[in-house]
Structure 1
Amino acid sequence: MSAPGGSRPRVTLKIATSLDGRIGTSTGESQWITGPEARLQGHRLRAQADAILVGVETVLADDPRLTARVPEGETAVDPLRVVLDSRQRTPPFARLAVAGTLILTTREPQPIGGAEVVQVAADAAGRCAVPAVLSLLHEREVKDLMVEGGGRVAAAFVLAGVVDAIEWFRAPMLLGGDGRPGVANLALARLVNAPKFKRLAVEPVGDDLWERYERL
């Protein structure tokens, strides 16, 4: 399914959290909240996307590869990796600082490893503006974008009103209010203003639950 109007990629927000919606402890520990079965399904979802997007905080905390690692015999092509890094803090030795990664910044681009660094417009907070990011990816023929975090990035895409679907993996544990949220502050004063989604399915994956939603 494409995004409304086809003028931007379809955006899927993929989150792996505790029961209370936390992606990490108060100290930032996050590997691994969900079990191997949920992580495998996450890799299969990556294999269906044209691009995977994270913020630089995820790069600094986890040093991810963002590849689609599926069992032998299953077909998977690694998607374009996209990092939102307004101040170009991605280390040149990071596993994402390689060819096949697009690092988006709001400043004059500087070399970061083997990655491609491109400047985009900034929002009012000085971060990469979501509309500018989606416009650039659309120009590069990205039709399906999976946003994997962290919490501020997830909130930015939600607030921009561009999240078309959610793939939520929920582990049977509690991390508490001082844990890192899967979606950061939305500054909502009234429930009527909350973004709403329709639940499509809930199924167990190992000890975890996989919940699927689409925007109303």
Structure 2
Amino acid sequence: MGGSVTLKLATSLDGRIATAGGESRWITGPQAREAVHRLRAEHDAVLVGVETALADDPELTVRLEDWSGRQPVRVVLDSRQRLADGCRLVATARDIPTYVVSTTPPEPRLTAAGVRVLQVAALGEDRPDLRDVVARLADEGFGRLFVEGGGQVAGSFLRCGLVDRLEWFRAPIVIGGEGRPGIAALALSALADAPRLRRIEVSQVGDDLWERYERI
């Protein structure tokens, strides 16, 4: 059973998600953030990397005034199960299903809090095999995956050719080369190797630009 992957980026015009010091709230405006919540609501699961989870302590929930539907499952790529005990994702794991994707056996402290640890195959440097991650989540019933970050995670999904759709929100600011990139290095040796997508829609949300792409 396979799954579909949507990657979301919210960046400056030059593709940065934070300053060099890590400041990132809020790059995009309230209308763009509302659109992101509506996109979350269309998916079965929302995924981030552990660095984002540790730095931002996100809820990864749908927060809309008119929303009364189910919440998407939260997924954290966390090979060494570093997710903190007191973070929001762990604290609410019994209310909203929360998965930690690891390459090691489940940590009792996480499972005791209600977190579901999904052990998957490992690639180099003990990173989870993303193809295995997508397949395993689909087997769990979460076939529509919404990937929110950070830069390493975005780069990894693009390198693996797993991104079916890209939702890119660009704010009208420029951060510069010292800022943190929205997409980490792709290790390309030629332009022919670059991931290619087709732009299917462009719209303005508040002061920001929303570009939508799909895989060719």
TM-score normalised per structure 1: 0.94
**Contact 1:202 1:211 (C-alpha < 8 Å) held by counterparts:** yes
State the match for 2:189 in structure 1: 189
State the match for 1:12 in structure 2: 6
Aligned mates of 2:188, 2:40 — CA distance in 1? 31
Residue type of the alignment partner of 2:100: I
State the match for 1:52 in structure 2: 46
Deviation at 1:14, TM superposition (A): 0.5
Deviation at 1:75, TM superposition (A): 4.2
- Tell me whether 1:26 sits opposite 2:20 in the alignment: yes
State the match for 1:129 in structure 2: 129
Q: Structure 1: which 4+ aligned runs deviate by more than 3 Å?
A: none
State the match for 1:89 in structure 2: 82
**Contact 1:24 1:180 (C-alpha < 8 Å) held by counterparts:** yes
Aligned mates of 2:69, 2:23 — CA distance in 1? 29
Secondary structure of 2:34 counterpart: helix
State the match for 2:210 in structure 1: 210
- Tell me whether 1:101 sits opposite 2:98 in the alignment: yes
Match of 1:78 among 71, 84, 87: 71
Aligned mates of 1:64, 1:85 — CA distance in 2? 15
Q: Percent identity?
A: 54
Secondary structure of 1:96 counterpart: helix
Aligned mates of 2:143, 2:54 — CA distance in 1? 27
**Contact 1:70 1:76 (C-alpha < 8 Å) held by counterparts:** no
Aligned mates of 2:126, 2:135 — CA distance in 1? 18
**Contact 1:21 1:182 (C-alpha < 8 Å) held by counterparts:** yes
Aligned mates of 1:159, 1:114 — CA distance in 2? 32
- Tell me whether 1:39 sits opposite 2:36 in the alignment: no
Aligned mates of 2:157, 2:125 — CA distance in 1? 14
Residue type of the alignment partner of 1:162: L
Secondary structure of 1:46 counterpart: helix
Deviation at 1:90, TM superposition (A): 0.5
Deviation at 1:83, TM superposition (A): 0.3
TM-score normalised per structure 2: 0.94
**Contact 1:12 1:167 (C-alpha < 8 Å) held by counterparts:** yes
State the match for 2:148 in structure 1: 148
**Contact 1:83 1:102 (C-alpha < 8 Å) held by counterparts:** yes
Deviation at 1:144, TM superposition (A): 0.7
Q: Deviation per CA, 1:183-204: give whole Å up to 9, x if none.
A: 1000111111100000011100
RMSD: 1.0
Residue type of the alignment partner of 2:99: L
Aligned mates of 1:71, 1:87 — CA distance in 2? 36
Residue type of the alignment partner of 2:12: S
Q: Deviation per CA, 1:117-139: give whole Å up to 9, x if none.
A: 22111111211110110121111
Secondary structure of 1:175 counterpart: coil
Structure 2 alignment gaps of length 5 or more:
none
Residue type of the alignment partner of 1:82: V
